[in-house]
Amino acid sequence: MDNEKSAVERLKDKIEACYKAKYAEWMQKPPDCLIARAGEILSAQQILEALPDVASEEDAEYLLRFKDPLEVVSDNLVEMSGLQSDFEDSLSHTLWELRDKEAAEEEYELEPEFASVDELPQPTTPPQTQQMSV
């Protein structure tokens, strides 16, 4: 009987059912639509996994009032965390890091017109420094 379960357990069951319904809906969508909704799908997956461990009994009681608590949490999480602006800041920082450290040139294949300059033989030992006699 559901009343014997804790609110968190009932919430877990409910978000699993909501996720299954969303999953069935997603499977009817064309690939380009799924790609466009990748953030929503990832958010739903992460909430499905984490919410039962994070939610208190009071949180669960509150969320159980909604027909689709998974949607409620997902929409509000995105809105409150400002993922768009955080993402843009992270992307900007990543681009700066790539240019600053230039490590990507060693790990990823370059276009031929850029590879020839960077693939010139490099000295394998540091240049000799003149040592002063003591």
Maximum pairwise Cα distance, the chain: 89
* Secondary structure of residue 79 in the 3-state scheme: helix
Find the length of the chain: 134
Question: According to the model, what pLDDT value does residue 62 have?
Answer: 93
Question: Three-state SS string across 4-22, please?
Answer: HCCHHHHHHHHHHHHHHHH
Question: According to the model, what pLDDT value does residue 93 have?
Answer: 75
Question: According to the model, what pLDDT value does residue 86 have?
Answer: 66
User: Average pLDDT for consecutive 10-residue bins of the chain (134 residues)?
Assistant: 82 95 95 91 90 91 93 80 64 76 76 66 47 46
